[in-house]
Structure 1
Amino acid sequence: MWGIGQEGWLQLWSGFIGSVTGAIAATLVALLVLRRTNRHQRALAEDAAKKQAELAEKQLSEQRSSLEAQLRQQQEGLNRQLREQRLEARRERERAAMAVIVSGLTGLRAGAKHPDFDHRPHLDRVTEGIHRWRLEIGTSGVLGEELGAWPGFLWLAHDYVRRCRQNHEPYTEGAVKLYISCLDYLLDACLKWSESESDEYGALGNDMITFRNDFGEKTFKLENLRR
């Protein structure tokens, strides 16, 4: 047929089938390669997207942590400023109370040697200043409790001098000096308070307790020394 023998047809069909088979095989290989390539690219894309998401999350976390740290620092700074302002305001109120105490003590000391001197307005100022200061430092601490005893103590010390004068005791002059020493002690204590921190108030309170407790012993010695 068409001048092609049987052997020629066999060769022709064999070549055709081989080429078709080769084309099919090449197509399958290409499809397989394409599939693998697509799968690899998809895996790369997914990995890149995952890394990008992780990086974005990390950056967001770092930004959030940095912002939180800044906010904490700002809050701590504000709290510190508020504490310092409250402390300074309290110290100013304490100084104002001390000024009232010093004013009253100065008046008492100026009239201590005069029998007709009216000490009550000045003692009232000392009492007012002490109460104002106790409102600031509290009344439960050593110093707060001890301060509460001093208005009455000063009144008794002054009354002791009054009775000595009234009875014309020979140790009256010594009693006046002893009374003035009480006023001077409290004046000196005010200076110490103004330069002290709150954690030193306990030692100041204990010192005041010792001084006040020694007053009775001093008056006893004074009376027996003059007899």
Structure 2
Amino acid sequence: MIVANWKMHFDAKGAIEAGCSIKTELSSAKVELAVCAPCLYLKELFECFKDTNIKLGAQNLYFEDEGAYTGEISAMMLKSVGCEYVIIGHSERRQIFGEDDELVNKKLKSAIKHLLVPILCVGESLSQRQNNETFAVLENQLVKDLQGIKESVIIAYEPIWAIGSGKVAQPDQIFEVHEFIKKFIDTKVLYGGSANPQNALTLSSVANVDGFLVGGASLDAQKFKEIVLSFEKAKGVA
């Protein structure tokens, strides 16, 4: 599975052009694809992706269905415009907006209630890795985030020190972290740390990498296509 996370990019015209380009370039892709776009563009992108292999996702939600929560978007709203996936607990939400594990847990439960598939992001900072705290940090996040949840949740491992930095975890580092996560929860585990066309084949060759959560490289349809093709090649997807 390859997921595009557009973050806060594009105006309305640019978003639709990017979505249509991805549809054109990847209409014959065999791997599961999703585009997580800014909420403003979801309805139009749903129409763009209709009857294709590309699914629609959001980048965030609030855990209440409705109410006096100015500026927030609920799982019910996302579902009503065709979303199937939603990213929850991205490191930027945790670091910049102060979201804690208790809030992440509530968001996961709301997504599941409304039949959205959550993509839960977990990962360690550079200092935590240097202090050999990676597995303790991940276990703490997974225990708290998934408390009371039995349903399927996709996990995206995003080493915070690799996001947008151009740094990439080494294949052996990725393997051991994904192995740890899979022992905790039997699910797909995506890698989410600066995947790009240059490193995609190497990263895809790691046995327990089930896909990517792609940031900057997903803004360009051609780059995104190269990542998808590399993954399909490495995994022998026919």
TM-score interval, normalised by the smaller of the two chains: under 0.3
TM-score normalized by the length of structure 1: 0.22
Q: Which has the larger radius of gyration?
A: 1
TM-score normalized by the length of structure 2: 0.21
Bigger relative contact order (CA 8 A; separation at least 6): 2
1 or 2, which has the higher strand percentage?
A: 2
1 or 2, which has the higher helix percentage?
A: 1
